[in-house]
Each structure stands twice: as C-alpha cells, then as structure tokens.
Amino acid sequence: MSDLTTTSNDVTFDSFNLDTRIRAGITDAGYDVPTPIQRQAIPYILEGRDVLGLAQTGTGKTAAFMLPILQRLTRGPLRRPRVLIVAPTRELAEQIHETARALGGRTKVRSAAVYGGVGKGPQIDAFRRGAEILVACPGRLLDHLGEGNVDLGSIEVLVLDEADRMLDMGFLPDIRRILKHVPAQRQTMLFSATM
C-alpha cells in the first residue's frame, strides 16, 4: 500500500469533494476538520483501493471508512446490500451503524445492524426493506446466511473492523465462511489496533 503516514494540517473535509448531503451529515455530526486517519485514508478509499488501517478506537476510524462508503452509495443501485462491515461485538456494530445513520442521514442510504442476543425478526425486516449497509457480528450473520434471509452476492465493499480482536475472539473460521458468500471482486478494508 502507498504511504499513509504523510500528514498535512491544511486538509479540510471540503477537499474530499464529497456529495453535499454527506457534507451536511458531517456538519450535523459536529466534525470540524478531519482527523489524521481520515486525512490519510479517505482519498485512497475514495479511489476504490484496498486499505489496511492501523488505528485504535477513538481516532475517527469509523468515519474514515464510512464517508467514502456513503459517497460510493450515492451512485448505483439502492435497496440491496452493497457494503458489509464485520465487527467483533454488538456494541461496536451498533456504534458503526449509528455513525452510518448520523453521517448518511440526509442521503437515501440505509444501514442495518445485525448481531445476536436480540430477535432476528427486525433484522429480517431490515433486509427486506433493503439496507445498502450491513454492520454485522459474525455469528448472527452466519445464522441469517444459513437460513437464506440475506444474500451477499451484491457486496462491493467489505470492512473488517477491529480485526485483531476478531482473531483473539476466535472468529477466523466464521469470517472464512462469510467470505465464501461475498464476491471476490470487491474493495476490502481491514482495520486493526495491532498488527
């Protein structure tokens, strides 16, 4: 991957040329200037490149991947899953889902959070309504895949968030099984606090 270590203090959100509805979402969220990981990663992700991000929670990494994802979803088909974000815990999945709602609130893009410990019905309803972004924990997503509740054949972007934690929690076999349902031709992003 190219050098993501260069930093600049004069990069603004405007310099990313995001859709005006997404710019409004950034203002709604109260973000003023991009954080270092946002400055570094957003241009690459907007180009459709694969990205390996070393970033802790609290650095603004969620918006770093969510803003380019929302930009991609302003074009092309709606009402089918096009982005899959896999996260280790329901808390993290819920946070990512809320970030999608906050930043994408003025677009037509919909996000669904998919995790265990709660009923499947509302998640199935969200699939039927046609969420473009799925934020999922591995186990529950596999349950839905096994039951034929959701089809990942139109996924264009895969994000593995807190990948190191997912490995620690023993999710690697589950992730391998999920990958079999996702097209090989896609943009892949992996975020991890440690390498």
* Interacting residues with ligand AMP (CB under 6 A): 31-32, 34-35, 38, 57-63
Q: What is the DSSP letter of 105?
A: T
Task: Give the nearest distance from C-beta 4 to ligand AMP in angstroms.
Answer: 16
| Phi then psi dihedrals of residue 28, to 5 deg | -55, -40
Q: What is the closest distance, in whole angstroms, from the C-beta atom of residue 61 to ligand AMP in the complex?
A: 5
Strands of 55-146 (E only): list them: 83-86, 111-114, 133-136
Count CB neighbours of 102 within 10 A.
17
Task: Closer to ligand AMP by CB, 63 or 131: give it.
Answer: 63
Please calculate the CA angle 2-175-62 and round it to the nearest 5 degrees: 50
Write down the least CB distance from residue 51 to ligand AMP, Å: 15
The structure tokens listed for 90 are 């329901």
Query: Cα–Cα distance between 34 and 155 in angstroms, integer?
Result: 27
* 124-142 core/surface letters (b: 16 or more CB in 10 A; e: else): bebbeeebbbbbbbbebbb
Kindly tell me which of 31 and 127 has the beta carbon lying closer to ligand AMP.
Answer: 31
Pick the closer one to ligand AMP by CB: 59 or 74.
59
Closest-CA residue to 55 (of 156, 164, 170, 138) = 164
Smallest separation (angstroms) from ligand AMP to the CB of 29: 6
Nearer to ligand AMP, 29 or 172 (CB): 29
